[in-house]
Amino acid sequence: MTEATLAATIRAAIDRYLLAERGAVPVYDDDTSLLAIGVDSIAALSIGMEIEERLGVMVSDDLIFNHPTVAALSRVLARR
């Protein structure tokens, strides 16, 4: 899977979570810190589970916090 496809899947999961839980999705790009847009540990668990379901790869909250941007996370997932 390409980094662009992975990034789109990650953005979609983040957007769905933030819209459902916070009522809005902030403006961000692939290099914006996920912490800066409100992704906390609970959000990371939920977002990671959705990514796992869609892609079939394990995405822990630690992985998200160690690669805290869409770009960084998609790069590491592309190598798996």
Mean pLDDT value across the chain: 96
Rg of the chain on CA atoms, in Å: 11
Separation between Cα atoms, residue 51 and residue 57, nearest integer Å:
8
pLDDT tens digits for range 38-73 = 999 999 999 999 999 999 999 999 999 999 999 999
- The model's pTM is 0.94
Contact 46, 15 (CB under 8 A): no
The CATH classification number of 3-78 equals 1.10.1200.10
Extents of the domains making up the chain:
3-78
Determine the pLDDT at residue 35.
96
